[in-house]
A and B are shown apart, each in its own frame.
Chain A
Amino acid sequence: MNAVDAKSITQRFGKITAVDDVSFTVSEGELFGFIGPDGAGKTTLFRIAATLIIPTGGRMTLFGLNVVSDFRELRNHIGYMPGRFSLYTDLTVEENLQFYATIFGTTIKENYHLIEPVYKQIEPFRKRRAGHLSGGMKQKLALSCALIHKPRILILDEPTTGVDAVSRTEFWEMLEGLKREGITIIVSTPYMDEALRCDRIALMQQGRLMGIDTPAAIRSSYGKKIYAVSHRDRYRLLLALRAMTDVDSPEPFGEAVHINIREGATVDDVKKSLERAGLEGAEVTEITPGIEDVFLELMKKGS
């Protein structure tokens, strides 16, 4: 049985179609990621999965239970973390956890082993009010609260947005730990580097799914060679590359600019053109395509 089975899920709000005919399956124990820009429909899709919205069309089941008709039973098995921090800021860390444990009919003690790797990092601050925690610590508390009843599935809506880089890495290590416990996790993220840690990822844009596969397969699906060009004057470099006829779709990525080279042209041609433009010493190296590259390519095709 699949942990999640979604068939042709569609959600309209008035004239806006937030989710458009989305189908996917998630196996039990899988770490499944959704990536896509803001407004892609990830939050709406997650709310449907969390039994919070009834979809306009389509059908979704979690562990064979329908998210619309069996929502009462399902709510015992879902751990949900909304995109916004949504714990009680005027309660302490411990009081928040205690509250969620009790309303799910369990105790902190009973499932302590499950939350321990996450919770022990914030336990020293258990008497502190949740509103006074740092962003990373808030996320750990929210995850602890979502986990305290030992859910079969975790639904995490952009859990690392607005969290510092170190905490983000820690957070994903925890998710991998939970996966080993057999908990199915679906997670959305705007960060492409995080997507690499998922078993499979779904690329989403404007309410539509543009592809589902393992990160490796998605990267290798990029049919063309891709080069990273770097120079200390990145702005002029970008302008120069955009003006070149030999170069296709230059996109700035961190310190470098990623480009494709049109058929018939070579790396040397590009280098020469750059020198002519006054950008001596620019480096052009072939790289393996990242998820972003695929994503941008798909977005271009899609629009």
Chain B
Amino acid sequence: MKRLMAFVRKEFLHIFRDFRTLIILFGIPAAQILIFGYAVRTDLKDAGIAVLDNARDGVSKELIQKIEASEFFYVKRYLASYEEIDAAFRQGEIKAAIIFPGQIAASVAREGSATIGIIADGSEPNTASLVTGYITGIVNDYSSSLASAVTSSLPLIVPEVRMYFNPGLKSHFMFIPGVITLILILICALMTSVTIVREKEYGTMEVLLVSPLKPWQIIIGKVTPYFFLSLVNVIVILLMTWFVFGLPVRGSIPLLIAGCMLYILLGLSFGILVSASTSKTENAVFISLLTLMLPTILLSGFIFPIENMPKVYDYVSMALPPRWFVGIIRAIMIKGAGFGYIWKETAILAGMTLLIMVISARRFKTRLGEEGR
């Protein structure tokens, strides 16, 4: 036990004396949360639109007012002719243009219906569909109120949509759990693999191996400091999401932390596995980034819904721990779910952790490998 403590102490000294390690440990996670939280967003806010109002009557004015009153849009430009639309899009100032035909109020009164045109910037498909969706919603809303006023009878079927768990459809609800997933596995796997491989590079591993330290003591000694620092990281991230983005944890915080601990353990075990297969720091970094970053971003369901992918990717993603952790963390943070709802994901994650731990402990050599030549 004394030996282990000495090892852990040494690791902490390494970490706190290396500025780069500290930056990677604490600077990058904070930066990522801010970047993903602020810069990368898929919800709409203050999108500029252009209006070509050929009618200039009661209906068109009211509609424009309603659109502008929403927090999603503001009218950037009033256009005078159809030709100006093209220029406005090319200048990139607007996300959509709304065209009102002449005498829209009269047409509504006479025929009971009218058509307005919406042109969206198709070069950004996601934004375009959001914009058209939102505008359509506002127009539908308005037309149903108009219909009930005119005919004084109930309109046909009106859907009342409510987004459960995330009424504002805010994208950080989606991103923050994903970013935590990504950061934790990256930091844990990267840091442990690098710190073990560095001992090989510096030749200190040779001396450690000749000591009476057992492999498990070296492994536990290496992993313990990173385990605690990663936990600190989780807490920092959660506080940031709460204070900066106003995203509270709806479920039990101890449950969330426990889930994170399991996932951290998995990341650390993976790092040991990586370190066992290489003796160069660059290789360790490369393997960790390549095998973790892309699959986590693409296949964990954190940005791209797995349901929309071909079945093959669904199966592939099942083999990846991040998919299960995203499920757990989303359920706890946003849905406020209890353990009863995430036991399956937790069991799978625990199984994976155990498997990786066993493999990595077995592959950790008690002697010099090929690099011994």
Contacts and interface: CB of A to CB of B under 8 A. Distances in A.
Given A52-B367, A86-B202, A102-B2, A91 B10 contact: yes
Q: Which of A84, A103, A105 has the most CB of B within 10 A?
A: A103
B162 interface: no
Given A86-B203, A87-B204, A103 B7 contact: yes
Nearest to A73: B212
Interface stretch (A93-101, A202-210, A252-260): A93-101
B344 interface: no
Interface string B194-221: 0000000011101111111100000000
B319 to A, nearest CB: 35
Given A54-B367, A103-B212, A82 B206 contact: yes
B56 to A, nearest CB: 74
A80 B366 contact: no
A90 interface: yes
B354 interface: no
A72 B215 CA distance: 11
B98 to A, nearest CB: 63
Interface stretch (B11-19, B41-49, B60-68): B11-19
B3 interface: yes
Contact of B373 (A18, A75, A100): A18
A44 B7 CA distance: 28
A75 B211 contact: yes
Nearest to B9: A99
A102 B206 contact: no
Contacts of B373: 13, 16, 18, 44
Contact of B204 (A47, A86, A102): A86
A150 to B, nearest CB: 13
A84 B372 CA distance: 13
A86 B207 contact: yes
Contacts of B207: 80, 82, 86-87, 100, 145
Contacts of A102: 2-3, 5-6
A147 B3 CA distance: 17
Given A75-B210, A88-B14, A88-B204, A103 B372 contact: no
A90 B17 contact: yes
B368 interface: yes
Contacts of B204: 86-88
A51 interface: yes
Nearest to A74: B210
Interface in A216-243: none
A103 B209 CA distance: 11
A71 interface: yes
A52 B368 CA distance: 5
A91 B12 CA distance: 11
Nearest to A16: B373
Contact of B367 (A44, A51, A89, A100): A51
A105 B18 CA distance: 28
Interface of B: 2-3, 5-7, 9-10, 13-14, 17-18, 202-204, 206-213, 366-368, 370, 372-373
7 contacts: A47-B368, A47-B372, A52-B209, A52-B372, A86-B202, A103-B7, A103-B212
Given A99-B10, A103-B213, 6 more contacts: A13-B370, A54-B367, A80-B206, A90-B13, A103-B211, A104-B212
Interface of A: 13, 16, 18, 44, 47, 50-54, 71-72, 75-76, 78, 80, 82, 84-91, 95, 98-100, 102-105, 145
Query: Sorted from nearest, which 9 A-B pairs have the closest CB atoms?
Result: A86-B203, A102-B6, A80-B210, A13-B373, A84-B203, A52-B368, A90-B17, A86-B204, A82-B206
